[in-house]
Amino acid sequence: MQNHFKYVLTAAQVETTNFHTLRHTFATRCVEAGFDIKSLSEILGHSNVNITMNRYVHPTMELKRQNMQRLSCPFPSNFVE
């Protein structure tokens, strides 16, 4: 599988990487899509969610911005105590 993967990368003129990188990308995209972490961890075959989150999920800057936006205005502009 690794050899075929390298062939496809070369044919597509994409920088060489290893096949396992796809697993990390899959985990990151699943989190971005809103998967619950426990289900994702089980799909990947991990013994616990810490492995999934600490080794496989790599949040993008855009995802971090979106999460911070959720906190930027927790109350409507016409909020009065």
Label residues 30-49 b or e (16+ Cβ within 10 Å = b). Answer: bbeeeeeeeebbeeeebeeb
Closest to 58 measured CA to CA, from 30, 81, 79: 30
Asked whether residue 70 carries a pLDDT value surpassing 60, the answer given is yes
pLDDT for res 7: 93
Contacts of 56 (CB under 8 A, 6+ apart): 23, 24, 27, 28, 44, 46
> Cβ distance 37 to 49 under 8 Å?
yes
Question: Which is more confident, 29 or 75?
Answer: 29
Residue-wise pLDDT for 8-61, tens only, equals 999 999 888 888 888 998 998 998 898 999 999 999 999 999 999 888 888 888
User: Is 60 exceeded by the pLDDT of residue 80?
Assistant: no
Is 55:26 a contact under the CB 8 Å cutoff? no
